[in-house]
Chain A
Amino acid sequence: MEWEPVIGLEIHAQLATSSKIFSGASTAFGAQPNTQACAVDLGLPGVLPVLNREVIRMAASFGLATGSTVSKRSVFARKNYFYPDLPKGYQISQYELPVVQDGELTIELEDGTSKRIGITRAHLEEDAGKSLHEDFHGMTGIDLNRAGTPLLEIVSEPDMRSAKEAVAYMKMIHSLVRYLEISDGNMQEGSFRCDANVSVRPVGRESFGTRAEIKNINSFRFVEQAINYEIERQILLLESGGAVIQETRLFDPDRHETRSMRSKEEANDYRYFPDPDLLPVVLDQEFIDGVAAALPELPAARRQRFVDQYGLSDYDAGVLTASREFAEFFEATAREAGGNGKLAANWVMGEFTAALNKGGIDIADSPVSSGDLGRMLLRIDDGTISGKIAKQVFEAMWNGEGDADRIIEEKGLKQITDPAAIEAVIREVLENSPKQLEQYRGGQEKVFGYFVGQVMKATKGKANPGEVNALLKKMLGS
């Protein structure tokens, strides 16, 4: 039987506020345990939450960027369950009335087609703390620094049909929250993670199969692996006559498999009800319009602009706008290179990306700035160096040997464009290659390339290739 996977994602994006969602404590990552947990975060008797208004602005900007409805009235509710790192015994979240509802995103697939993925809702909630099971002699340590950190939970429709689509969607959301500057998207620190709901059904069937939820996946690679494993597991189970049970599963990245965490029967009854400590969040149109007016240029618009303004192909514009940092690096490079977008795009997507990947370096930590790269491209543009020599220059810049002009100067890489000098070299090459000259004159025109190579070799690649071609043709023709 042919099976079709059905996937929906719940993405948790930590919002980039400086203080927590319901208290004034700092959200900075990496502090000593429990040093960033105030009385409210600790859930001390008598404390009350006060909403950080900034999270509403951030959620609204996400809603507007995804064509969603930004609710004029949303309500915080309590999700009740016991866990040692959940200080109040309930999590404040949004349940029936979330701040963002009913939006969509378009993802691009590898075959060049695109697909619309529905966004059911995005709601605000507080994160829990962390339970630390090592180093406590059989006991558990609790670190509440993370407790109360604001999260935006973005829930998709079950619109994805493969792990690849799920990854494409997750990358798209990741890019978007960074464009909007509402989340740093740092996956190692857990600022961006997801739960995947996976089920399979026979191709052609309308109704969904029973789903399993894979919790807390924190990398694109793991999302793909976890979903593929889960699809495989469910198909095997069904084909051997078994049934998928509704349950929560955990992905083990070391073993590349998912494991059962708890079944539906063991699931908590969260006893949601509106939090009486917080008033409903009421937004007026003026506020929503203000957020809309302040939205930055979004990936789709920027992509189209790159095509129009720099004459890039749609594909290249898509690659360059996949992340805000990358797009901004490209534009700064192009600006520095006198507006030569095509040249900048080739270099940013080519040598520069290759160097980043090779070194496993984040764009923010690149040893070559957009200014460095752009100024080097100017030297290609004005004929000082050839594209080929530029690769040497780039490598030297990457290794910290200085800026392009200094490297060109110190290494004597300046291109030879003086016709008289090139003619002298050609003459010498021709004199030293009587056999090849005879072959050429005998009609073997491919020997032309040999002469070019010899000239470039003699000039250590510095001769202007166009000039060499033109002069060689002229001299051989005479």
Chain B
Amino acid sequence: MQHKTLAELSAGLDSGDYTSEELTTACLERIERLNGPLNCFITVTAEEALAAARAADARRQSGKAGPLTGIPYAHKDIFCTRGVRTSCASRMLDNFISPYDATVTQRLAAAGAVMLGKTNMDEFAMGSSNETSYYGPVRNPWNQDTVPGGSSGGSAAAVAARLVPASTGTDTGGSIRQPASLCGVTGLKPTYGRVSRYGMIAFASSLDQGGPITRTAEDAALLLEAMAGFDERDSTSVDQPVEDYRAGLGNSLKGMKIGLPAEYFDGAVDSGVGDAVEQALEEFRRLGAETVDIRLPHTYLSVPTYYVVAPAECSSNLSRFDGVRFGHRCQDPQDLEDMYKRSRGEGFGAEVKRRIMIGTYALSAGYYDAYYLKAQQARHLIRDDFRQAFEAVDVIMGPTTPTPAFRLGEKVDDPVTMYLSDVYTIAVNLAGLPGLSVPAGFVDGLPVGLHVIGNYFDEARLLNVAHQYQQVSDWHTRVPEGFE
């Protein structure tokens, strides 16, 4: 059962091959058996999952089931879940039991999906290696000495290790696509505004977006359909109907124009990664697509722009963690200032503090114009690059990351090198575009991801492209050793 895709499992539940309770039990057993060294989960909600599975089975019997009814999934621990700890992988929220459900949580529950637990991640989604988690790092199932990527590392590793058929992630600068790439799974960051942010603990509000992590594009389509949609509780969500993302999966790619930005194929790319991407592109040409060389001349501004905008927003978003109403409060505070300083000093890890400090500095009087305002201007240039590119091409492709998974501890003391591992994904968030990473090969036994960027609300096209590729490739069907 564990090796079936979400779509196959859905069909199996439909035809009565197994019940959701059996499927859920099997997943829980596998988590119990295999999760230990991977550390994908912060919280496993076995009892709630079994109850939800039984309810899903009843619903299926009454004929009211949808494709996700009874399907187990793992939920990134950044989404609020009522009655269940929602930690954001931080000591600050280690004691936080959310009194409400995020909109995404609600939508998945309404679709009948069964939450197995909350996945590990970088603390407050700040990181690219899952090493900043208060609950310890997640290990990459393909090589447990390497990182799974981040921040949605637990979600990506859990899908890669076949602990779950699907999981949720969030992506602020690549946090779905980079771990999907490093773990050899499919991850989609939708257009900004497509998935509600309500109840998704904010890192950088103008960049954050939730999305699916699955093995196949078809599964991503199924999960996205349930997650997406307008939410009146999120002013930045867009009031536009959700498409049937599966409908166009089978469309031919003949005549499709694929833009290849010179900036994404420069010397920074590992040669093995470059080769894998080139072979994937060859596959697309065989499928009838045409590749076109394009320029995204402001790509070099992406990382510096991102590391002003995201920390600035995070410095403000994380002010609410003050020890007053919820979360960590220090022991025996002497006075208010002592309470603030020690609660936050103890509650936040080093990377979170670093970003709060960078952001506070960037917004300070006298620096605002030079940093925040300048970054907003750069953001416009980056967006305009894409706008012009999409006048000539249908999708843009390149490597998701410059290198495959790096070793645990390798970059943890060198934040700038770490930040550069998101160089290709970050611009997509700054522009608000949808982006997808699809497995496209291996280098030294480690997965390589192909990055596909689409125009606004062109998720269906991204899924179509990835699905067609998965019809002629088998990278996404490979299983890491020890998890067969």
Q: Known contacts A46-B102, A50-B235: does B316 contact A89 (CB below 8 Å)?
A: yes
Which residues in A have their C-beta under 8 angstroms from that of B318?
89
Are B205 and A42 touching (Cβ within 8 A)? no
Q: Is the CB of A310 closer than 8 A to any CB of chain B?
A: no
Q: Which residue of A lies closest to B366 (CB)?
A: A269
Are B234 and A48 touching (Cβ within 8 A)? yes
Q: Is the CB of B111 closer than 8 A to any CB of chain A?
A: no
Which residues in B have their C-beta under 8 angstroms from that of A276?
204-206, 236, 313
Which residues in B have their C-beta under 8 angstroms from that of A87?
320, 324-325
B172-217 interface (Cβ within 8 A of A): 197-202, 204-206
- Residues 75-112 of B, flagged 1 when their CB comes within 8 A of A and 0 if not, give 00001100000101000010010111010000000000
Q: Which residue of A lies closest to B359 (CB)?
A: A271
Which residues in A have their C-beta under 8 angstroms from that of B324?
84, 87, 142
Are B233 and A50 touching (Cβ within 8 A)? yes
Task: Tell me, rounded to whole Å, the shortest Cβ–Cβ distance linking B96 to chain A.
Answer: 7
Which of B100, B315, B322, B327 has a CB less than 8 Å from the CB of A39? B100
Task: Tell me, rounded to whole Å, the shortest Cβ–Cβ distance linking A58 to chain B.
Answer: 19
Size of the A side of the interface (Cβ < 8 Å), in residues, is 29
Q: Is the CB of A449 closer than 8 A to any CB of chain B?
A: no
Are B98 and A45 touching (Cβ within 8 A)? yes
Are B235 and A48 touching (Cβ within 8 A)? yes
Which residues in B have their C-beta under 8 angstroms from that of A269?
364-365
Q: Known contacts A39-B99, A42-B325, A45-B201: does B320 contact A88 (CB below 8 Å)?
A: yes
Task: Tell me, rounded to whole Å, the shortest Cβ–Cβ distance linking B406 to chain A.
Answer: 30
Task: Tell me, rounded to whole Å, the shortest Cβ–Cβ distance linking A474 to chain B.
Answer: 84
Task: Tell me, rounded to whole Å, the shortest Cβ–Cβ distance linking B168 to chain A.
Answer: 14
Q: Which residue of A lies closest to B344 (CB)?
A: A82
Are B205 and A47 touching (Cβ within 8 A)? no
- Residues 39-78 of A, flagged 1 when their CB comes within 8 A of B and 0 if not, give 1001111111111000000000000000000000000001
Are A51 and B235 touching (Cβ within 8 A)? yes
Give the complex CA separation of A278 and B313 in angstroms: 13
Are B236 and A273 touching (Cβ within 8 A)? no
Name which of A45, A142, A277 has the most chain B CB atoms within 10 A of its CB.
A45
Secondary structure call for the A interface: loop
Q: Known contacts A45-B80, A48-B235, A89-B319: does B205 contact A277 (CB below 8 Å)?
A: yes
Which of B80, B86, B320, B363 has a CB less than 8 Å from the CB of A89? B320
Which of B98, B320, B360 has a CB less than 8 Å from the CB of A43? B320
A281-318 interface (Cβ within 8 A of B): none
Q: Is the CB of A80 closer than 8 A to any CB of chain B?
A: yes
Which residues in B have their C-beta under 8 angstroms from that of A236?
none
Are A48 and B100 touching (Cβ within 8 A)? no
Give the complex CA separation of A80 and B360 in angstroms: 10
Which residues in B have their C-beta under 8 angstroms from that of A272?
363, 368
Are B235 and A278 touching (Cβ within 8 A)? yes
Are B319 and A90 touching (Cβ within 8 A)? yes
Q: Is the CB of A279 closer than 8 A to any CB of chain B?
A: yes
Give the complex CA separation of A82 and B233 in angstroms: 25
Are B316 and A273 touching (Cβ within 8 A)? yes
Q: Which residue of B lies closest to A22 (CB)?
A: B235
Which residues in A have their C-beta under 8 angstroms from that of B99?
39, 44
Give the complex CA separation of A43 and B325 in angstroms: 9
Q: Is the CB of B247 closer than 8 A to any CB of chain A?
A: no
Are A277 and B236 touching (Cβ within 8 A)? yes
Q: Known contacts A80-B316, A88-B320: does B326 contact A44 (CB below 8 Å)?
A: yes
Name which of B201, B234, B319, B322 has the most chain A CB atoms within 10 A of its CB.
B319
Are A271 and B200 touching (Cβ within 8 A)? no
- Residues 299-331 of B, flagged 1 when their CB comes within 8 A of A and 0 if not, give 000000000000011011011111011110000
Are B199 and A46 touching (Cβ within 8 A)? yes
Task: Tell me, rounded to whole Å, the shortest Cβ–Cβ distance linking A398 to chain B.
Answer: 51
Name which of A44, A140, A271 has the most chain B CB atoms within 10 A of its CB.
A271
B224-249 interface (Cβ within 8 A of A): 232-236
Give the complex CA separation of A33 and B316 in angstroms: 27
Are B198 and A48 touching (Cβ within 8 A)? yes
Give the complex CA separation of A46 and B88 in angstroms: 11
Which of B100, B235, B363 has a CB less than 8 Å from the CB of A80? B363
Q: Is the CB of B336 closer than 8 A to any CB of chain A?
A: yes
- Residues 456-482 of B, flagged 1 when their CB comes within 8 A of A and 0 if not, give 000000000000000000000000000
Name which of A44, A82, A87 has the most chain B CB atoms within 10 A of its CB.
A44
Are A44 and B316 touching (Cβ within 8 A)? no
Which residues in B have their C-beta under 8 angstroms from that of A279?
235-236
Q: Is the CB of B340 closer than 8 A to any CB of chain A?
A: yes
Q: Is the CB of B135 closer than 8 A to any CB of chain A?
A: no
Which of A45, A46, A78 has a CB less than 8 Å from the CB of B316? A78
Q: Is the CB of B284 closer than 8 A to any CB of chain A?
A: no
> Can you give 28 A-B contacts (C-beta < 8 A)?
A44-B80, A44-B100, A45-B96, A45-B201, A45-B202, A45-B320, A46-B79, A46-B98, A46-B199, A46-B200, A47-B199, A50-B232, A51-B235, A80-B315, A80-B363, A82-B322, A84-B322, A87-B320, A89-B320, A90-B316, A140-B336, A142-B325, A269-B365, A271-B360, A271-B363, A271-B368, A273-B312, A273-B316
Nearest 7 pairs of A and B residues by beta carbon: A89-B319, A271-B363, A276-B206, A276-B205, A46-B199, A43-B320, A45-B201
* Residues of chain B having any CB pair with chain A under 8 Å: 79-80, 86, 88, 93, 96, 98-100, 102, 197-202, 204-206, 232-236, 312-313, 315-316, 318-322, 324-327, 336, 340, 360, 363-365, 368, 372
| Besides the known contacts A48-B197, A89-B322, A269-B364, 18 further A-B residue pairs in the complex with CB atoms under 8 A apart | A43-B320, A44-B325, A45-B326, A46-B79, A48-B198, A48-B235, A50-B233, A50-B235, A78-B316, A82-B319, A84-B324, A140-B336, A142-B324, A271-B360, A271-B363, A276-B206, A276-B313, A279-B236
